[in-house]
Amino acid sequence: MKQQRFILVLPLITFFLYACSKESNGSNNSGGGALDCSAVVNKNFAADVNPIIQSSCATTSSCHGSGSVNGPGALTSFTAIFNSRNSIRSAVSSGSMPKNSSLSTAQKNSILCWIDSGASDN
């Protein structure tokens, strides 16, 4: 009797373990899944990424504006943003930044793909 239950339960356990081990294809910017940057066209620093950072992150000294000492500090120039790109990527992909607002999926993808594409000053 115990052997019959085991034979019946084993496929169920295997199914649940397999289902839980797969990443969701719909959540491609969560930091764990791969983001297809070939489909993201808004990944230019000057036109796309910097405006997002300036309006959402570098707003005041209590965030990442001039004089900020929070996290990576002020994010007011290409050099500062480039040097902080790993921290920015982590914070954006996890959704922990910006603190008092949120970024749209398109904004997140712009930042993540800019970083993943080499973070060039373009």
Could you read off the pLDDT of 30-45 as tens digits, one per residue? 444 578 898 888 889 9
Domain annotation covers residue 31: no
DSSP assignment of 25-43 equals: TT-TTSSSSPP-GGG----
Domain annotation covers residue 75: yes
CA distances to 92, 97, 115, 121 from 88, rounded to whole Å, are 6, 8, 9, 16
Domain annotation covers residue 6: no
Domain annotation covers residue 7: no
Domain annotation covers residue 103: yes
Angle at CA of residue 106, ends 33 and 118, nearest 5°: 65
Domain annotation covers residue 81: yes
Question: What's the burial of 117, exposed, middle or buried (CB within 10 Å: 0-12/13-18/19+)?
Answer: middle
Domain annotation covers residue 96: yes
**Number of domains forming the structure of the chain:** 1
**Which residue in the block uniquely carries the two structure tokens 């603190």?**
99
Which pLDDT tens digit goes with each residue over 64-121? 999 988 889 999 999 999 999 999 999 999 999 988 888 999 999 999 999 999 999 9
Domain residues for 50?
A: 45-122
**Tokens standing for residue 102:** 């949120």
**Residue 36 identity (one-letter amino acid):** D
